[in-house]
Structure 1
């Protein structure tokens, strides 16, 4: 019971303080609207400051609500855009700003009624406790009325009816005030917390950022492995093959067990070098490291078995994994056009648009691509899917064939 009364007192303090703050918020909303209007008329500095004040005001109430409910909340960041259009971008793009405005409206809608109800119940208890013993102070034509209708004309009636009124409104406060406080506090926190859709969008944004970091790290690791294999392992294999070749030539007689072993070792070393070159090329083509994606694609189309033209937009800096995927998609598409389509012309178009690399390869061949026949399209799909990209192959019978790929490339 004691704990319950303490909770009632805490809730009363919470709601009684929330009443004037809700009234202040009511007056602040027109000022915020005026600041927004001033931003549209050229007063760009006032609106961000008003949003900052609203954020701090909402955060103070958020901490009060969390303390009442016994929960923990982490502080929210205040983003500040740069540029002439930053205030409007902040309103349109920052979900926290919209939550602040939503909280302000909800605080006014719930804080004022809950605060007035608390004033009515608690205030009546305090007023009765003070006024009942002083019933005689009131003038005869305007006596103290208790329980709403009964005038206090004597000590017995004043004390009895005062006790009943105190007990009744105390019970009302005991039952209603904590519930009102919990309702208001939970509504306050709910207004400032992201919705499930907002949480999903924020999670997608976090995953996008982490994926960009993983792609950068993966690209750097690809370059390092390619460089180590090319400059280290491959060079050692070349040296071993040369020594084996010299040893074979130094034998006076090319027959015998030793000569046979040297010949097998020499041929095995050369095969290993060929396989290593293929691994390096399929992992991260050296031409990408030397010329970048535009130069590598230009060389690729220049050496194509089908006449090809290329249209490159402004690609900017790309993760190594994305560069490699785009290179292999174009290479495989050119190979398929030369081997299977009977095309006489191929057009390659690569652009970058809002964080995505768009690659399109179109030929004028006979079409009818069948992925089950090992045309390499399945391998391209797996490579694109590994980077969370999308791939669309359009190849009706009679042609043309078009391979369109979108790869995320934000870094």
Structure 2
């Protein structure tokens, strides 16, 4: 049993959660090794910090407009509910809130690089105004948009205040040694008054005080981007949680996509089976029928030639039967149904061009569909080892962890395998994703290659 999989899996799963840039969600910029300055020093100079500051500054006026509109709309519609006007007024107000949500998603996409999917549009069953109004009022998305406009305002006030104070005072103190001369020239004082009463005043005017002020400003400027980042992370949660599609809607969309993958895969398998039958066994049987017809004609005139043709036809029958067995094994091998994964994977390993060690540690059999996917996944991976890896040995480990079936195929080949568009690994990823599975590839240049698949048990 491959006990070393535990920590490797955690590493692989973490790498699978990285975004398209290779960074973990929420990480800043590139890795420290790519810069001469540490992250804390370069943060005030990064475009991301200024985008987040701009987002925090714009949030206050926009949130104020949305909050005033929402409070006014809900108050008026509640007061007019006794009349017919209140209900359509509320529906129109909710529709406007959805428009606010679209604006906020676009702002988050542009400034925070947060891409939130647009929720499903509201459509009435009949297309009439009454049907549309009913659909808007019944939509949970509409009410979540209204809730966002109400909750975002107090948070926007707090975010704006903190961001402007830290950035404003930080920049002012940092640059104070450069413009402190303005006070004695134009204001008539020695500098910024730090303290003052009837008998004593203290100004920031000495070289030491100027240096201390600049140092405090530098600290504030270095800390400000991280404070703003923490504040806008709450905005990220609010936008993604309240302005995006609901979890149920997202799950439905995911299942629809997975269903499409399953349908496309089944159609491709049917086309492959039809092509194999047409080009293989069917063509061979047609030729066999013609040979037997010729042998029948020769039977009376030249029995020896007819016997030889029948013998050749008998050999063709054996080849056709073998092709049909191979085709049936490709659809669903009998050894898998009869004896389970251990025997089926051992049969695959025996046909691989490199020595393969198979270890299966299962106390029961998973669902037949999962078992079949596991079998064909290992089969595809071992074919890749035979054709592309340039390996001298490989191992296959199968075990169960809680309610998950784990597969791991490792080879000592040249490495460099990747889940790229159009590759066999990409097809495997889609097939596993269709059943809530995961495929993780760890294949550095020079090898070794480790491919780990995780499937639901569903026993």
Do Structure 1 and Structure 2 share a fold, with TM-score over 0.5?
A: no
TM-score when scaled to structure 2? 0.38
TM-score when scaled to structure 1? 0.42
- Structure with higher Rg: it is 1
